[in-house]
């Protein structure tokens, strides 16, 4: 009856393997799962999401409860420094 929300260990060259690992943990635990920020980093990996989304769909068809979320913008991340940059620039 638990929930697992996790980021993958790799979003680049080992992206597919990381999704397989995530789904393995989900199947073994029986928990409902959310794969956070589903994306493939770097242009050479972008097409991999077609395969990994099919893997998620297959798991759901098997009766598991797994979901993904994505960034609603084209950036890869935003860190805390983004909050302070405008203030630092105004002091120049």
- 20, 55 in Cβ contact below 8 A? yes
What pLDDT score does 71 carry?
A: 74
Extract the residue ranges of the chain whose pLDDT is less than 70.
Answer: 72-92
Per-residue pLDDT at 80: 63
Give the model's pLDDT for residue 78: 64
Alpha helices in the chain (DSSP H): 15-29, 48-61, 81-90
Q: What is the pLDDT of residue 74?
A: 66
pLDDT of res. 1:
82
């Amino acid at each position: 009856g638990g929930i697992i929300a996790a980021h993958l260990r790799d979003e680049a060259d080992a992206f597919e393997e990381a999704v397989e690992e995530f789904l393995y943990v989900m199947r073994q635990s029986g928990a409902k799962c959310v794969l956070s920020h589903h994306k493939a980093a770097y242009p050479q990996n972008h097409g991999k999401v077609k395969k990994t989304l099919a893997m998620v769909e297959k798991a759901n068809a098997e009766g598991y409860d797994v979901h993904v979320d994505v960034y609603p913008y084209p950036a890869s991340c935003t860190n805390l420094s983004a909050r302070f940059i405008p203030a630092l620039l105004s002091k120049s």
